[in-house]
Amino acid sequence: MGRLIVITGPSGAGKGSVVAGLRRERNFHFSVSATTRRARPNEREGVNYYFIDRDEFEQWIAAGDFLEWAEYNGNLYGTPRRAVLEALAAGNDVLLEIELRGAQQIRDAYPDAVMIFIVPPDLRTLERRLRGRGDTADAEVERRMEIARHEIKEAPDVFDYIVVNDELDQAIAEVGGILDSSQGADFP
């Protein structure tokens, strides 16, 4: 069986950049989540997300088609169950880049999953990163900062590892070291 690996962190912590670095260096199945949010200009259907409407998402929930799902910032996000379980059964490590509520569901359902939380070096840096994107209104930045404070406070209760993303290459190397030292797990 493969390992189920969860990487989470506040918006702006750099989890996507860490995951992108890992994808260049390692061979694992990257789970593509479904979401009800609109695609950003650089995102592609089936590569970054499956972009579906709320009604379809709720049908997937009712059918039990998600391994985990949660609402974040007014949008629904979920991990399609079948693709993940098939990849694990084939012996592939599967990486989920998801948010905190979904990570908590994975922790409850799959206690042997490798759980990694990415944090910025401090909240000022996080705010600077969020504002530096240039596509986020001030009110939205404040909302994401409040969510981040809450996530950072809860992280030690959910995650096995907390990695500070101050220097991206170092954070990627640290997560790689965690993956090298972690054991596989049994999944149903």
151-166 pLDDT per residue, tens: 999 999 999 999 999 9
In terms of C-beta density within 10 A (0-12 exposed, 13-18 middle, 19 or more buried), how is residue 188 classed? exposed
Report residue 164 CA to chain centroid gap: 15
- Tens digit of each residue's pLDDT (9 = 90 or more) over 166-181: 999 999 999 999 999 8
Phi/psi at 156 (5° precision): -60, -25
Q: What is the mean pLDDT of residues 143-158?
A: 94
Residue 188 has a pLDDT of 41
CA distance 84 to 86: 5
The residue with greater pLDDT, 188 or 13, is 13
Retrieve residue 119's tokens.
């944090």
How large a percentage of the chain has pLDDT more than 70? 97
Contact 33, 152 (CB under 8 A): no
pLDDT at 72 over 90: no
Question: The pTM is what?
Answer: 0.86
